[in-house]
Amino acid sequence: MGPSLIGLPQNVSLTTLSRSINRPSIIVGAVVIALALGATGAPQLQYLRPFGDFYIALLQMCVLPFLLTTIPLAIRSAMTSATAGSVVRWLLIWLAVSIVAVAAISILVPTVIFRLAPLDEGTIKLSASGEGRVR
């Protein structure tokens, strides 16, 4: 029997706990619960912010450098293979579609927001005075 965690039954090992937590249904459920809690805007959630900041910092230190080094290596290996032409073609198509999608989003989102909440002189004065803020 492996090492057990404090507060758990003695027959639950760290390996068993890790296997049960890493199931896709648990992860999706945790994401749904986190989104629901975030949507409520409960003031108690501010105490969880350091954990989120720590997680983002870990991602920036570990995952992003890994991605930045593996993506060029994958492209280089694809270029040296026999399918280099099709890989480059799909890469260029994906890049073009991504640029068009980002451009469309950056045009549509402000247009929709300013239609729903027009920005005129009265709105600017109200936000500058601080009277329209919710506390």
**Pairwise CA distance, residues 38 & 53, whole Å:** 15
**pLDDT tens column, 2-20:** 454 555 556 777 788 788 8
Give the residues of the chain that fall short of pLDDT 70: 1-10, 130-135
**Pairwise CA distance, residues 85 & 71, whole Å:** 17
Predicted local distance difference test score (pLDDT) of residue 53: 92
Domain ranges of the chain: 1-41, 47-80, 85-135
Q: Is 35 helix (H, G, I), strand (E, B) or coil?
A: helix
β partners of residue 4: 13
| pTM for the model | 0.41
Predicted local distance difference test score (pLDDT) of residue 78: 74
Predicted local distance difference test score (pLDDT) of residue 41: 82
**pLDDT tens column, 69-85:** 888 888 777 777 777 77
DSSP state of 4: B
